[in-house]
């Protein structure tokens, strides 16, 4: 495989692509990036290309937000049209994770008989009510190369009858954390951050519709936040700001605009604990050796649960408050590979005829 088209659309995918794209380039593999525009705010999109030194996309479809079917359908149509407009189809199309951009890209390629590469394959929350779960299952079953973050993903695919083209390479986000943590210290002026990182604070991200679109769930999370005797910093996704205006917010909650990836790394490195419903931040908190409370009922990243480094509470105030009082019961140990997942991915892709 000498020519890859990569589909990106959401913040975590830009971070993953930064390290994988470099590895592909180092092996002489041509890559063209298509940006669906799923995340369209500058602070959550363009800035990542600038900071992480990713080649600009050859096309931005500017799809924006919308209902799942509408958004996915628009992406599918635009990706298919772009592929058909090219003089020659690529050797493969690569997608990351579990977003609507992921399944749209995988479907468009599969229907044109273009091999599909899925990074972060084999993950399961076993909750089909989550759109992400549907996206990742469907993508895995139409992919030709599947790169897993751990042996658990490999085993899950085996259970589902997917056993060809499966590789356990580790997690590319671990590569990114190792690569960019030191750079973040140089690039970010602490004085420009929304909180004093020399004083104790908690870092929170809540963005899943199951929490933010449910007033009862959101009220429970905010109740738990109000019980904390430290500042809780919450960089808020643009779509959720209006909803918060209708809610009673605890005095210790500090709401800010979305922060850059480098700023998030520095905040994560400096915080006391993490509260989140994000899949990626659960892992990043673990790698930074920060205790994490996940306000979901399940997680795809089950390895982080060992020793209480990550605790599942759901949007339940009592459970969140109890979990925040707990400390990990085991020593930290590395999970999800050795930080060279992107190199292994590029090696496998380059070896395909």
332 part of a folded domain: no
Helix (H) or strand (E) holding 30: strand 30-35
- Summarize pLDDT for 107-144 with one digit per residue, the tens: 999 999 999 999 999 999 999 988 999 999 999 999 99
User: Are 154 and 76 within one domain?
Assistant: yes
Q: How confident is the model at residue 339 (pLDDT cuts 50, 70, 90)?
A: very high
Please count the structural domains in the chain.
2
CATH number for 304: 3.40.50.2000
- Tell me how far CA of residue 63 lies from CA of 8, 16, 69, 101, 132, in angstroms: 12, 21, 12, 10, 18
pLDDT of 40 above 70: no
CA angle 171, 51, 178 (to 5 degrees): 35
Q: Which residues are tagged catalytic? A: 207
Residue 45, pLDDT above cutoff 60:
no
Question: Cβ distance 46 to 71 under 8 Å?
Answer: no
* pLDDT exceeds 90 at position 39: no
Residue 177 falls inside a structural domain: no
Contact 172, 205 (CB under 8 A): no
The range of the structural domain enclosing residue 152 comes to 3-171+337-351
Report yes or no on 165 lying in a domain. Answer: yes
pTM for the full predicted model: 0.91
pLDDT given at position 49: 73
């Amino acid at each position: 495989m000498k020519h890859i088209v990569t589909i990106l659309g959401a913040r975590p995918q830009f971070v993953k692509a930064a390290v994988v794209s470099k590895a592909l380039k180092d092996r002489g593999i041509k890559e063209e990036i298509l940006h669906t525009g799923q995340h369209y705010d500058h602070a959550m999109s363009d800035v990542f290309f600038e900071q992480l030194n990713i080649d600009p996309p050859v096309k931005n479809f500017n799809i924006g937000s919308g209902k799942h079917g509408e958004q996915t359908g628009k992406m599918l149509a635009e990706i298919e049209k772009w592929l058909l407009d090219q003089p020659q189809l690529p050797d493969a199309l690569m997608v990351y994770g579990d977003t609507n951009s992921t399944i749209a890209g995988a479907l468009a390629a599969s229907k044109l008989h273009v091999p599909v590469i899925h990074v972060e394959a084999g993950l399961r929350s076993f909750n089909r009510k989550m759109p992400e779960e549907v996206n990742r299952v469907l993508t895995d079953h139409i992919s030709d190369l599947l790169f897993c973050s751990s042996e658990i993903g490999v085993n899950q695919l085996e259970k589902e009858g997917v056993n060809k083209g499966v590789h356990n390479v580790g997690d590319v986000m671990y590569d990114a954390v190792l690569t960019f943590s030191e750079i973040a210290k140089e690039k970010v002026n602490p004085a420009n951050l929304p909180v004093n990182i020399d004083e104790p604070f908690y870092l929170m991200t809540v963005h899943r519709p199951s929490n933010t679109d449910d007033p009862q769930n959101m009220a429970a999370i905010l109740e738990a936040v109000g019980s904390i005797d430290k500042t809780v910093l919450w960089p808020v996704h643009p779509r959720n700001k209006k909803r918060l205006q209708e809610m009673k917010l605890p005095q210790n909650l500090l709401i800010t605009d979305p922060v850059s990836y480098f700023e998030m790394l520095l905040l994560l490195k400096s915080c006391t604990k993490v509260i989140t419903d994000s899949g990626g931040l659960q892992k990043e908190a673990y790698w930074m050796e920060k205790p994490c409370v996940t306000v979901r009922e399940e997680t795809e990243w089950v390895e982080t649960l060992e020793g209480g480094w990550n605790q599942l509470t759901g949007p339940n105030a009592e459970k969140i408050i109890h979990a925040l009082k707990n400390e990990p019961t085991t020593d930290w140990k590395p999970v999800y590979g050795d930080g060279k997942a992107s190199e292994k991915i590029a090696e496998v892709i380059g070896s395909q005829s």
